[in-house]
């Protein structure tokens, strides 16, 4: 198996309307996202060709659209959809880790954030929730 390269998006911030409570889905709140993508960049490196690597602007725009235009009760569901979207639309990506943080989760306590992490591989994208 070839060694896979990694691209990481750190702390992408969104204002979106996800949550278990109606108020969260009506008023919205801040979310933070880290993405780690694993891919084979050998052709891109050899040819110095952007078309043969990860188009991170396109990924950012697709994820932004999904996060800001959909509503989900669970951040686990949202994280899974983000991972599936990337794997389905970007065949070069072999594995993705999505870390989704909710800084203002409705929990009676003091904390920085609640975070969920999902890891999906390209060969597994259709095994969940079908």
Separation CA 35–CA 81 (nearest Å)? 13
Residue 9, Cβ density class (10 Å: 0-12 exposed, 13-18 middle, ≥19 buried): middle
71 is catalytic: no
Which of 10, 91, 102, 121 is catalytic? The answer is: 102
**Neighbour tally for 98: CB within 10 Å:** 26
Residues marked active site are found at 102
């Amino acid at each position: 198996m070839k060694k896979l390269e990694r691209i990481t998006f750190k702390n992408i911030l969104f204002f979106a309307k996800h949550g278990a409570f109606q108020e969260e889905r009506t008023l919205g709140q801040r979310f933070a996202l880290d993405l780690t993508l694993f891919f084979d960049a050998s052709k891109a490196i050899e040819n110095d060709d952007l078309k043969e690597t990860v188009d991170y602007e396109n990924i950012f725009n697709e994820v932004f659209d999904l996060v800001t235009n959909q509503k989900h009760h669970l951040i686990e569901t949202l994280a899974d959809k983000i991972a599936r979207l990337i794997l389905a639309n970007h065949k070069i990506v072999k594995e993705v880790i999505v870390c989704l943080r909710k800084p203002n989760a409705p929990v009676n306590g003091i904390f920085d954030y609640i975070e969920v992490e999902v890891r999906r591989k390209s060969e597994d994208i259709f095994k969940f929730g079908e």
